Chains A and B, each alone.
Chain A
């Protein structure tokens, strides 16, 4: 099976712009979670989608949003980018009823200038 894929791998944006990141889960997995990784804050949970519904949400402002499509692919969007949004954004997918084990993609490195 192919692993979790994320596109693009690298992205440079300027303050005020918006960005959309994409994640394709492992085939058969219906849950997708997003995490932000920064040197200062470490790894922080953004949100989880399961069967096109947001199931959990972390403590991030409303500028961060996401969605999931019927084929389980997910996108996250960040509007009005700030310098502090520069981070590695990781997507993880999981399967099964309790969705315990998560498989991570390589991440999208976002730089905001």
Chain B
């Protein structure tokens, strides 16, 4: 069975400081990996994804994540955070589905990022 572990439930950080949100997964098959962000009272927004190819993936708002197969990790990083990055971040892995589809996601418990001025 696949699982995702987000090692930190809360991460407080000062504005303009770097941040790393950690994510480890377990799977016996090839997977797709995702980071989603959730702002209060909203749904989930895709931040970035790893499907194949380059192990370093980037988002349009400065986040990046690196797929490390040997360590089964997909940590999220940003070199300088803003107040507006305050949100909850979820790491997810796609599960096996019917006909090779990836229709169900397995999520970690989430990490609440709190950026302080």
Q: Which residues of A contact B (CB under 8 A)?
A: 4, 31, 33, 35, 42-45, 48, 50, 55-56, 58, 90, 92, 94, 98-107
A56 touches B43 (CB 8 A): no
**Please, how many angstroms separate the alpha-carbon atoms of A94 and B43 in the complex?**
15
A55 touches B105 (CB 8 A): no
Given A45-B95, A104-B43, A106-B42, do A94 and B104 touch, yes or no (CB 8 Å)? no
Band of interface residues on B = 20 to 34
Q: Which residues of A contact B42 (CB under 8 A)?
A: 106-107
Say which residue of B90, B104, B110 sits within 8 Å of A45 (CB atoms): B104
Contacts A90-B43, A106-B43; A45 near B105 (Cβ below 8 A): yes
Q: How far is the CB of B21 from chain A (nearest CB, A)?
A: 15
Contacts known (A100-B32, A100-B51); A48 close to B43, Cβ less than 8 A = no
**CB of B36 to closest CB in A, whole Å:** 8
A103 to B107, CA, bound (A): 15
A100 and B106 contact, CB distance less than 8 A: no
Determine which of A4, A35, A55 lies in contact with B101 in the assembled complex, contact meaning CB atoms within 8 Å: A55
